[in-house]
Structure 1
Amino acid sequence: MALTIEDLLTREEIRDTLNDYSQGLDQRNWELFDRVWTPDATFEAPDEGIDTLPASELKARLISRNDPDRLSGQHLLNNTHFQIDGDHARTITEVTWVTLQTTDKPNILFEVRAGGLYVDDLVRTAEGWRISHRTLVTKSKTTQGVLYPPERIESIREHSLNTDWFL
């Protein structure tokens, strides 16, 4: 089946929503993060010990549990498969992420490297495509302490949370 221009536009609109989640989370741009969800959206990550919870509670967990020691995050999305039926869609996206957290040891950062899938149910709203439910499936995860030069740590600290880049 050949894709139409409308099909391609819909895919790009959905991809924008998926990217907004990652950018919002990584840059701690909570306005961007909030706008990807429907009002009643839910999130679950069974492999991470997270049962289904409201997306608003996910945000609260991220802020309270991750932010005190968090230095940076980076999510890379690849290989999105689309199933679109009118105003509803399901996407399955490969995701790789790296998170750096400070430690009590000078120049040692706690590094988490992981990969998995985002399985998203989306709906088209008047504001655009929004995630109504996300399941994170973790396929791989390693954690380790890594020695970083002080100037690299300072550069990450200075640039990774720069929300001035967002319009």
Structure 2
Amino acid sequence: MDVQEIADRLEITDLLARYSRAVDSGEWDLLDEVFSPEAVIDYRSAGGIRGGLAEVKSWLAEVLPHWPGRLHLIGAPRIVLTGDEARVSAPFTDTLAPTRDMAAADAKGFLHGGGWYHHRLRRTSGGWRSQELVEEQSWRTAR
């Protein structure tokens, strides 16, 4: 691995962390540092929408506040670099909680899930950006 590939892998890993931070914190404009303006984002496997960045940001801002306690954990990504493009598949697990306060373990309103995030990335003048994200929901439980 040369220095450029190491730098690319670190930047891509940071992009995945920014994605989690944006979704979990509700900092929707942080997604502009994850996705290109023309990106297509597909959450249909989890019951969501498929759309462009602006549409998806609006949808997330409407839907996710129902679960103020949110935590996404993204596992070790598989990154395949080809010049200025990359394919990334990363396992994830998430918890959506109806409150940020202490709750009983059997409290209602919690969603737990997991699967894979599949990104198609391109190097831009502003750094790596996702051109496409497809969420592959593998499992989901609800209480």
Asked if the contact 1:100/1:109 (under 8 Å) is kept, the reply is no
* SS at structure 2 position matched to 1:83: strand
Aligned residues: 138
Q: 2:37 aligns to what?
A: 39
1:83 aligns with 2:80: yes
Q: 1:162 aligns to what?
A: none
- Structure 2, unmatched stretches of 5+, are none
* SS at structure 2 position matched to 1:58: helix
Letter in 1 for 2:116: L
Letter in 1 for 2:23: L
Q: 1:124 aligns to what?
A: 123
Q: 2:7 aligns to what?
A: 9
* SS at structure 1 position matched to 2:139: strand
Asked if the contact 1:84/1:90 (under 8 Å) is kept, the reply is yes
Counterparts of 1:1-167 in structure 2, within 5 Å, are 3-50=1-48, 52-67=50-65, 69-102=66-99, 108-144=107-143
Instruction: Please identify the structure whose Cα radius of gyration is greater.
Output: 1
Q: CA deviation at 1:142?
A: 0.4
Q: CA deviation at 1:23?
A: 0.5
Asked if the contact 1:38/1:131 (under 8 Å) is kept, the reply is yes
Q: For each residue in 1:64-112, what CA deviation from the matched residue of structure 2 results, as whole angstroms up to 9, or x when unmatched?
A: 1221x2221111111210111111111000001111125xxx9745111
Q: CA deviation at 1:51?
A: 5.0
Q: CA deviation at 1:47?
A: 1.7
Q: TM-score, normalised by structure 1?
A: 0.76
Greater share of residues in strand: 1
* SS at structure 1 position matched to 2:112: strand
Asked if the contact 1:120/1:134 (under 8 Å) is kept, the reply is yes
- Rounded Cα–Cα distance in structure 1 between residues aligned with 2:28 and 2:50: 21
Q: TM-score, normalised by structure 2?
A: 0.88
Letter in 2 for 1:7: E
Letter in 2 for 1:26: D
Asked if the contact 2:84/2:123 (under 8 Å) is kept, the reply is yes
Q: How much identity, in percent, do the aligned residues show? A: 26
Asked if the contact 2:49/2:56 (under 8 Å) is kept, the reply is no
Asked if the contact 2:43/2:135 (under 8 Å) is kept, the reply is yes
